[in-house]
Structure 1
Amino acid sequence: MSRLPKNLQLALSACIVIAMSFIYGAHPSVILPYIFGFEVRDLELKNIFRAIMGIYIAFGGYWIYGIINKNHWRSATIVNILFMGGLAGGRLVSTILDGWSPQYGAGMIAEAVMMWWGLWNLRFYDIEE
């Protein structure tokens, strides 16, 4: 039996991803230069970051829905595993091709942990239920 609550992985993922959505999209021309050191001036680039914000909010919202609605917990967990695995995999490719990023390296590790935690939850709770 797990000592961590079943929904903790989804809840933490949702909180972190929704918070990150606002870092990327709320005011990219002000926030991103401060955090990442690059300017966001082009309309198209602002649009990309706001689209990222929207998709992050949508995924985070679905994970919250999966916590609330038991019928969607499994699907929300699978989506979370794919999302976190995709982010971690993309950052791994960037690390191999571009070098280690201290800012995103920690994120890559956290995303991989969330992916594996989701896989473990899926296996553990599918057996239990």
Structure 2
Amino acid sequence: MKTKTDFINKIHLIISACIVVPIAFVYGFNPGLSFDMSLETIDEHNFYKAIMGLYLGFSALWILGVFKNQYLKTAVITNLIFMLGLGFGRIISILMDGIPTSGYVFGTVAELFLGFYGLWVLKRLAEDKCV
């Protein structure tokens, strides 16, 4: 990142990838390690490995946006949709199912923060015509 503006516009993508990549591998290979769940069927294992692939694919796009400016806008848009989708999904769960463990509560706050930060960056990019 060459400038302060670059840092401001891209830091959330780096943070997101640094969080999402390890979580992807936990989902794909050992979801019981961090989450209170036990996968019983091949279909359940297949589902979580597909989620792993989705998380890794989005993370790759976000990192691409950090290094290649022509992908920055796409990276920001997908990141904010990803994070706000997760965050608002968790809010629905909190309202309907109750308060989860502290890790999930923190995750909800972090996802909403990163999503709204991405929305702010997207607005900056449009105003500055940076991308």
When normalised by structure 2's length, the TM-score is 0.87
Aligned position for 1:11? 14
CA distance in 2, matches of 1:99, 1:121: 32
How far the C-alpha of 1:76 sits from its partner, in A, is 0.9
Provide the residue aligned with 1:103 in structure 2: 103
Amino acid aligned to 2:65: G
Number of aligned residue pairs: 125
Equivalent in the alignment of 2:88: 89
Q: Give the residue type in structure 1 aligned to 2:116.
A: W
Post-superposition CA distance 1:6-45 (Å, at most 9, x none): 21111111111111101110x23xxx22322221121111
Q: Residue 40 of structure 1 aligns to a residue in which SS? A: coil
Superposition deviation, residue 2 in structure 1: 5.8
- Between stretches 82-91 and 99-108, larger displacement belongs to 99-108
User: Kindly, what percent of the aligned residue pairs are identical?
Assistant: 32
**1:71–1:106 CA distance, 2 compared to 1 (3 A):** same
Gaps of 5+ in 2: none
TM-score, normalised to structure 1, is 0.88
The corresponding residue for 2:24 is 21
Cα 1:99–1:40 change in 2 (3 A) is: same
- Quickly say closer, same or farther: Cα 1:69–1:105, change in 2 above 3 A: same
Query: Is the contact made by 2:83 and 2:114 (CA closer than 8 Å) also made in structure 1?
Result: yes
| Cα RMSD, aligned residues only | 1.7
Moved over 3 A (4+): 1-5
